[in-house]
Amino acid sequence: MKFKLLFILVYGLLISCNQENKQQPIDAFDTENLNYANKVLLESVMEDAFTPPVASRIYAYAHLAHYITLQSVENDSLSEITSKINGLDQFTIPETSNVDAKLSALLAFSRIGKKLIYSEQYFDELTNTLKAKAKEKGLSEAHINRSEDYAVYITKQLSDWIDKDMYIETRTYPRFTSTKKPENWRETPPDYTSALEPYWDNIRTLVIDSANVYKAKPLPEYDTDKNSDFYNMVYQVYEESLSSTEEKGKIAWFWDCNPILTVHKGHMVTTIHKFTPPGHWLNIISQITDKEQSDYYTTTKAYTLTATAMFDAIIGAWHVKYKTDLVRPVTYIQEYIDPEWSPILQTPPFPEYTSGHSATSASAAEILTTLFGENYAFTDQTQLRFGLEERSFNSFKEAANQVNLSRFYGGIHYMQGVEEGGKQGTFIAQQILKKLQP
């Protein structure tokens, strides 16, 4: 009798432990939580003033970590893309039992975000917030710990892969020195900053085969003759500035997206931090998925595919930039047309052709059009916090086309530079969709 009673007690204890370890699924996280995680990512990148290329790397890796973790636990939720990402073909998946997919994915996002930025407290707070919410929603301690262990396993592999993308090596390469030749890029006012990321095309692409998959249209031959094609290309920028309107100025500033804007007053220089171009588009995704109340998986897909496309598009644009090494409008105009001329926007510190913002925006627009539709109308409130108005668009491609105009109106790009940048971004996004879409 005593043995029978002991057996019942032990059996009951085992059943109880097993129920605790194999907790029934609880849907503790939703799109609002993913959008919040993206907000933390954008804020930390802005706080640390990362440049657009480096920011695109941070955005893409954090969202890839989230997607891969989520999909590996819930195989039917999203298409498998790990095997299609350059260098990730040997990726291994651990045991997924008793893992909360969304919690683990969000924790993986946080771990990779923390790895790549300086202000680590942003992601420490995010991790603590996620675990507290999981507990509040009823996930057991064992379930939370198991989900975190799974995220650690996934992100350790991703961290090793990230460290091999050539970013670390490019930090040690020689400083780029402008040739001082009239046809080539030279340091531009007001800061005369040295060239930004001249070796970015060494960075491993995520999906496209190489940085030079898009063959940009050849430029007119450099010439200062007023009847030459090159002079006319530059003069078009100058002529546009003479007939600029308030609306065109608003368009230029709305899409400026300069992460390190400097304001000069006498001898004092003030720096203003803003979202980068790819950060602006990720914030658009946050707005539209919130408005549509998009499900968690659609939102995940939108963030990851868009971040991936923008990352590869920037590598492609930077490849063309430093191969063509083209002079910026401000340099040519001040030397050969009007020495007192200044553009509306500050000229970024790298060669003109092709436009990086155009390539970034066109790639994002192509992905989002595929996911949300050709004529998806939306209002973008990204710049309200920076004292600018909201703007409405009838489609993502209309917004991307306005980006092209903004760089031309702002006086920092030639029309050919923005048009080719847009074509380049569209082409690269299409290549990515072919490889990643089922």
> Is there a contact between 421 and 376 (Cβ–Cβ < 8 Å)?
no
Confidence of residue 22 (pLDDT cuts 50, 70, 90): low
Residue of 5, 16, 352, 307 whose CA lies nearest to 184: 352
Question: 379-395 pLDDT, tens per residue?
Answer: 999 999 999 999 999 99
> Is there a contact between 318 and 211 (Cβ–Cβ < 8 Å)?
yes
Q: Name residues whose C-beta falls within 8 Å of residue 417's C-beta, 6 or more positions apart in sequence.
A: 326, 352, 353, 354, 355, 358, 407
CA distance 63 to 86: 16
Residue of 245, 378, 360 whose CA lies nearest to 309: 360
What secondary structure, in 3-state letters, does 301-322 show? HHHHHHHHHHHHHHHHHHHHHH
Tell me the pLDDT of the chain averaged across its residues: 93
Number of residues assigned to the chain: 438
- What's CA 122's distance to the chain center, in Å? 18
Instruction: Flag whether pLDDT at 101 surpasses 90.
Output: yes
Instruction: Flag whether pLDDT at 194 surpasses 70.
Output: yes
Amino acid at 65: A
List beta partners, residue 272: 261
Residue of 112, 338, 378, 136 whose CA lies nearest to 144: 136
Please report, for residues 232, 285, 367, 377, the alpha-carbon distance to residue 372 in angstroms, rounded to integers and kept in the order given: 39, 10, 9, 10
Residue of higher predicted confidence among 258 and 325:
325
As a whole number, mean pLDDT of residues 175-187 equals: 95
> Is there a contact between 139 and 100 (Cβ–Cβ < 8 Å)?
yes
Q: Whole-prediction pTM value?
A: 0.93
For residue 147, what is the enclosing H or E element?
A: helix 141-162
Q: Which domains does the chain have, with CATH numbers?
A: 27-167 (1.20.144), 184-196+203-436 (1.10.606.20)
For residue 235, what is the enclosing H or E element?
A: helix 229-242
Instruction: Flag whether pLDDT at 20 surpasses 80.
Output: no
> Is there a contact between 287 and 302 (Cβ–Cβ < 8 Å)?
no
- Looking at residue 273, its pLDDT comes to 79
Question: 208-223 pLDDT, tens per residue?
Answer: 999 999 999 999 999 9
